């Protein structure tokens, strides 16, 4: 498997021996980064109020799949534009397999706040488990509610609704870490996703996300200069199914061990571990 390409950093300013001077490349990169950010926020501000109004007028006659396809279309086109700007370089394997999933728990690691956007731009039919604070944002909440997304602030409700969605044949995108990865390969896994799997028997499709740099990681603010292009590689991993009599904590630990054996934190990036090849 090919590795993510390395890119040298391009800071807005460079510290010389006696003075600080601005880098033209760094300024241009920052303009492209900020343009991509405002395109995302702006499109959400336009679309989400329309979704809220539509839900109030049409009520339950609007199927969640309509909202899911709308979000898929928005994220996909935003990512295309941002890639054309040179802000992102997204590499993904087995995209057709990802699009064909049904009744599956999609379980990625979580190095960046943009991970759900990457995946939902390729998966047109998935319900995302998202932070309650994100649901309240004006540029996200309306479309997310229309799509039937679930918040992660109430454990029993999350599990109950997740079970219902899986039994209806929906895909469930949920991050087992529960929050963005801190300074390690993965955080300890929560058990909610595993409880849904043990209750329904649903397969768990693991997704390995590699990201160069720490843009929008837990400690990286939105408008801090990033190293462009933001390079991300998405690979489908193994499919896990609950074993007979297996508890949710045991299943969660199995997946956590799998991710830890396949990912490493380099001090700046999260990448696939290089496997030793014996001759």
- The pLDDT tens digits for 195-219 are 999 999 999 999 999 999 999 998 8
pTM over 0.85: yes
Pairing of strands 13-15, 105-108: unpaired
pLDDT digits (tens, 9 = 90+) for 211-267: 999 999 988 889 999 999 999 999 999 999 999 999 999 999 999 999 999 999 999
Task: Give start and end residues of each alpha helix (H) in the chain.
Answer: 24-58, 64-84, 95-99, 115-120, 132-135, 141-146, 155-167, 192-200, 248-262
If you compute the radius of gyration of the chain from its CA atoms, what whole number of angstroms results?
Answer: 20
């Amino acid at each position: 498997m090919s590795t993510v390409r390395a890119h040298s950093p391009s800071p807005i300013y460079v510290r010389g021996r006696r003075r600080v001077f601005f880098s033209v490349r760094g300024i241009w990169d920052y303009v492209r980064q900020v343009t991509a950010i405002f395109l995302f926020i702006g499109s959400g501000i336009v679309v989400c109020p329309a979704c809220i109004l539509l839900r109030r007028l049409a009520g339950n006659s609007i199927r969640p799949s309509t909202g899911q396809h709308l979000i898929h279309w928005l994220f996909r086109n935003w990512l295309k534009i941002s890639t054309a700007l040179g802000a992102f370089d997204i590499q993904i394997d087995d995209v057709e397999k990802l699009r064909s999933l049904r009744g599956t728990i999609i379980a990625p690691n979580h190095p960046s706040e943009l991970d759900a956007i990457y995946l939902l731009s390729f998966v047109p039919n998935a319900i995302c488990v998202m932070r309650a604070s994100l649901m309240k944002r004006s540029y996200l909440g309306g479309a997310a509610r229309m799509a039937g997304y679930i918040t992660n602030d109430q454990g029993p409700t999350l599990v109950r609704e997740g079970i219902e969605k899986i039994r209806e044949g929906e895909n469930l995108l949920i991050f087992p870490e529960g929050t963005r990865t801190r300074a390690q390969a993965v955080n300890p896994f929560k058990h909610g996703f595993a409880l849904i799997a043990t209750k329904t028997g649903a397969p768990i499709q693991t997704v390995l996300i590699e990201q160069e740099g720490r843009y929008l990681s837990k400690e990286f603010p939105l408008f801090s200069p990033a190293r462009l292009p933001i390079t991300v590689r998405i690979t489908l991993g193994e499919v896990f199914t609950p074993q007979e009599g297996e508890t949710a904590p045991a299943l969660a630990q199995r997946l956590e061990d799998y991710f830890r054996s396949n990912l490493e934190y380099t001090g700046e990036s999260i990448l696939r571990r290089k496997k030793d090849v014996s001759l």
